Each structure stands twice: as C-alpha cells, then as structure tokens.
Structure 1
Amino acid sequence: MTTAKQLATFRESAWFKLVWIVPTAIVLVFATGVAAQLFRSREAGLNFLTTYPGEAHLPEWAPVGFPAWLAWQHGINALLMVFVIKSGWQIRTTQRPALYFTRNNIGILRSKRAPKKISINLWLHIVTDTLWVLNGIVFYVLLFVTAQWTRIVPISWDVVPNALSAGIQYASLNWPTEDGWVNYNSLQLLTYFTIVFIVAPLSILTGLRMSPSWPQNATWLNKAFPIEVARAMHFPLMLAFAGFIVVHVALVLATGALRNLNHMYAASDATNWLGFWIFVASVVVMAGAWLALKPISLRLIASTMGKVTRN
C-alpha cells in the first residue's frame, strides 16, 4: 500500500513535474483527431488530400533501399542514445552522485588549469556523447557520399503541404500508405531532417557550452553564447529526442513491424523475422549494458582515464 510518505517523496521528485504531460497529451491527441476527422469529411479536405497524398517525389537518381552501413549506424546510434539520455537524466535528478571523476592531466589532455572534478554521471554523459558524435560524423559523411541524404532533406516546397496531409491522415487514424524502402512520407522526412540536422547539432553545441572543457577566458564567445541559454535549451532538446524515440518506435511497430524492422536492422525489404530478431538482440544488449553500468563497473572503467573518488 502506498504510504503518505511515499506520495510526498514522489511529489518532490523530478518525475512529478512530468505528470501533467500525460493528461495534456491525451486531450491534445483527442482534439486533433476530432479536427482531422471533420476536415476529411468536407469536400475541401478531400480535395486537399487528393492533391497532396502525403509524399513528395524524389529525384530519379535517388537511391532505393537502405545500405548495410545505415543499418549498423542506426543500431549503434540507438545504443548510445540510451546512455546519453540516461546519464543526462541522472545529472539533472541526482543530488549526491555516488562517485566523482578527475581526469589524468597527461599527454594531449595536459592543460595549464588543474583538471576539474566532475560527477561520475557527467563523466558517463561526456564519454557516451563523444562516441555518439563520432558515430554521427561517420553517418553524415556516408549520408552525403551515398546520396542517402535525398531521403531526409527537403528538396522541394511540395514537402510542406504533403507533410500536413500526412499529419491529417495520421490524426484521423486513416494512415498514409507506407513504403519506407522507396520513400518516406513528407511528415517523416521533415521529422528526420529536424532531428538529424537541427536537434542533434544544437544538442552538441549546448552540451559543449556547458562542458568543463569550454574555454572560460573567451569573453566575446561566452557573451555571444551565455551558459544560461545553453542550459535552458539542452534539457528540452533531450526531451525532443526522447519524444521522437517513443513515437518512432510506436509507428515502426504499428505500420508493419516485420518489414520496418528488416529495413532498419537487416537492410532488406523482405517480410520475414530476420530484422525482428536482430532488433530483439539489440534490445538485450541495451538492457544488459544498462544493468551492467552500476557504480562499481563505472568505477573500473573510469579509473583507466583518471582518478575516481567518493567525494
């Protein structure tokens, strides 16, 4: 039985601040669905959906399908994002970290200033962020070298009304036809573009601004980009990633799970169980890594890069 003390503790926790999101989201989803149904019932709405079916045409030279490197990139990115978000949330909600880390001031890391002591959660966040950024650089290079960019970068203004059309179709529960192997619908395209080319770079920039390695003596740079601005932006950007992941996974499973998972994990357009089992294996790896990254294991890993203490 839940006690008054437990309820009081929950009210004081960071989770309680998010409780209002659930009823608000339910009301917004219901209202949007009703509005979409009313729009579709009118002649003007039907004409709009006929003119703009929800998908903008790609150029003839655009690639079809997903290469193997993209499947690997997707899997690695998913694994790293789990720990980027986990460590970021721990930084925000943990009042007294279990451990602290001070890096070794040697080699290319040597600086005139003494290394700053940081929480083990911040250390994990910096490490996973660094790996995530390196993976992202590889992704950007291959994306443009192979012309896969055409699938997630708008190249005509038709994408705007088609994205609106796709949104209306989703909201009215009469979803647009899916063929992600050939072309995303325009709402997907704009969403992926926003995450890859806006949210991700801003997350990196604001994270760098708050990091211990940011140059403190660069007066003009610090004035142009105050740390308060970075702090105000960084957490909402993390929420944007988390929201995208939830909706993304839900739609993958709801719009032809086997085929979609084959696209994402097996680089295949077949409708079989290969992609599903690779996805299950990746979830097992994520869960195992999540359980393994306890203070004792973090101490062992972090101690190879610096000094780990309890205070």
Structure 2
Amino acid sequence: MHQHQTPEYIFITGCAGFIGFHLAKRLLDEGYYVLGLDNLNGYYDPQLKLDRLSILKRHPQFSFVKGSLENLELLESLFEQYNLVTVVNLAAQAGVRYSLINPHMYIQSNLVGFTNILECCKTYHINHLLYASSSSVYGDNKQIPFSVNDRVDNPISLYAATKKSNELLAYTYSHLYKLPATGLRFFTVYGPWGRPDMALFTFANAICNQQPIEIYNYGKMKRDFTYIDDVIESIYRLMKKGPLADQAVPHKIYNIGNNQPVELTDFIQILEKEIGKQATKTFLPRQPGDVLETYADIDELIKDISYKPLVTIDEGIPQFVKWFKQYYKIS
C-alpha cells in the first residue's frame, strides 16, 4: 500500500558550494533523494557554482531551489512540501577576510539564516541536523592540537564569531527541544571544484598566469589542509551513525581535519612542482583575522566513526591541479 509515500529527502543548504556539492553528489550516488538550496550569490564566480549544479541536476533524485536561508517563508514551504529527515546546513557567508569588509552579510546569512534553519528543524521534528562550523572558532588557541574540549571564547574574526554563535544556538535548541544536532568544525578544506577565494586556488591561478602570489606572515603559517574526499567520508559516516539520541542534550561537535599541519611554504612548493612553474612570491605581514596555526585533534571523530582522514597534500594537491587545468583548459 505504500507506493504513494513521499520519499525521504536529505536537505542540503549551500548545495552549489564546494562541500555542499561534493556531499550532494556522494549522497545521490548512494541512492538518496536530495533537496538542495543555494542562493548562488556572487561572493565568488557564480559560474563555478552553476557548473557544480549542472552535475547534480543530472541525477533524477535531485531537486534544486534557488533561495536564501534568510527567507523564512521559503524555508517553511520546503519543510512543508518535502519529507525532510536530515538537514545538512552548509550555506553561509564564507571567508575570514571578507568579514572585515562586509560584516552585515555574515550576520544575515550565518545568524539570521541559521536561526531560521533551527526553527524549521524544531517545528518539523527533523531527525538530525548537521551544520558547518569552522576551525576559525579556535582563534589563536595556545593549546595544540585544537581539541573540541578547548574553550573557544576568543574569536579573532567576525566570521569565526558567527560560527561560534552557530554552535551556541544549536546547543540551545538541542537543550530546549531535544533537537539532535552535530557541529562540524572544518579545517582548510581543499580539492577539485574548490573555492576560488581559498589559498590553493588563488595560488594556482596566479602561478599559471605568471602573476605574483601574496604570502602573509612571510609564509610562517601552518594549516591543517584537509582533502575534500576525507571531509565527505567523515560527514557521510556521521550521518549514517545518526545523532546522540541517548544524551540529555543531543548535541556534539567534531573537528574535521587532517591532523597534520603543513607550513604554507611547503604547500606552495608542492603546488609549484605539480604545475611545473615557479611562483613569484610577495611576502607580506600577517593579515587581521588570520590564525597562525590550525591543527585538529580528531580523537573523538576516530572514536565515533572509525575513520581518520587519509589524504596527504602530496596526494591531494595533484588531484586539485589536474581538475584545475581541465576546468580552466590550461595545457
């Protein structure tokens, strides 16, 4: 009798973004129904978002809606219309440096928008909300590696402050309404179809076009570069595992990182080797909002999903460069 039942959907916000696209693709390949929302904003080249989207649209089990999280009426209509069981909130105004220029975008998207998501998840009794946080919440944390048990009360950028706020809001909803929620603190994610505002992309672009690259803090920065496939595998396993239903407050945060910080200069060296060109380097002082080192303690993640990110930058950067050259038709 059940042939008319509406299928269960996974709702991914920011589905045309870097992580959202890869996650949607993985879920569709695994046979899930996916509803994607994205406002396709112009923070970086929308063509890249449209190209990602066109790949997702080849799947018959994918539905797309163009819109923003700030539009509560639209969100409510989607929760009303679709049988949504899991929500993965990856839509946000991204970028640390841009938050210095356009603070209001961050408040709208990352706070107002996220609160709308929480309200809908509460009202429609969603099984599990997974949401993007960021390693930037650690600020200039003196404890290395960064543990999810560390206090994160000192953000050094507005972007980081909005992500920390997301964690606080999600915790409150979990506490008050037993909303099962999982926070994902991503550490410098890179790979094919990546974000053009991220270092790897801007460096590759400049090196290919023989333009100088700007290296902040004279290259004395370390980042826990995490390859996209490792990130997706981690999210996928956390989804499969489901929320912490047995706890008084069903809320948990994980570091999604590679657990291997790399100095920026080493990163650039591998990139140069892959592209086959030397970079012209301009060394500059540290930028406001930039953190000196990121390093993820992933013990909790390994314990809960039996998975550890595996891809080193020696393996990951070549994958990115291969995609980059194909996509931009660079011989």
Alignment TM class, shorter chain as reference: under 0.3
Structure with greater contact order relative to length (CA < 8 Å, sep ≥ 6): 1
Determine which structure has the larger helix proportion and give its number: 1
Give the TM-score, by structure 1 length. Answer: 0.25
Determine which structure has the larger strand proportion and give its number: 2
